[in-house]
Structure 1
């Protein structure tokens, strides 16, 4: 539990590393980057002449418990997928949608059979989806490699923000 900072959410990486909670934001950002490395999300490469790299953005949130108590600081690296071009960066998109009647049915079964229901949050959900397309992304703020500033990240796995992330995640678990 963290109580020493007011919990303001910075809008950019620069705001995060100059805030009063600088150490907590850096820790959260480092955790996200560690997850990216351990999941082998990208390779650093030269950008091919015929391609354009999409940008990215740090989304920084303060996660809270009951009574507005700060639980943790969370950072998520998003691709600026709105810059992707159909036919070049992706072929189709897809997103699963649950029907409320399905949720009500599950809750009714749980209540009727006196079962327990647990919710879970998968920390690296989209990092499980393998990309089929060649997508290049700029290096994230704060993590630009010295002497390799002109290189870009060639994505191997889907990350939040890409148009095809939901589809690739679904296909990964469909084929297990």
Structure 2
């Protein structure tokens, strides 16, 4: 949308007193300023590999918020996209022992998965 501004008092061009200025950038207090700021911030964050995690939809029944996209991207990131939901596959309250013959895992990978799950549960709508 093109926005024009009148010449401010004290800065009127004597040769063209009836001319107006076409704005090249959004100014604060204009309704377009918030949209320009949002678009600039969103494009920067997306370029830094951030993603928009919340989906918001509105219909006659109300406004709905979910994080399906973030949850599915997280499952894919950690290699669980083809898994089906199941009950806890172990006896509850059993003592766990170290697996001496088990394969080693990257602790940062595990920490990343746990952090993702914590973020998902803490930020759920």
Question: With structure 1 as the length reference, what TM-score do the two structures score?
Answer: 0.23
Q: Which has the higher strand share?
A: 1
- Comparing both chains, which one has the higher relative contact order based on Cα–Cα distances under 8 Å and sequence gaps of 6 or more? 1
Question: With structure 2 as the length reference, what TM-score do the two structures score?
Answer: 0.32
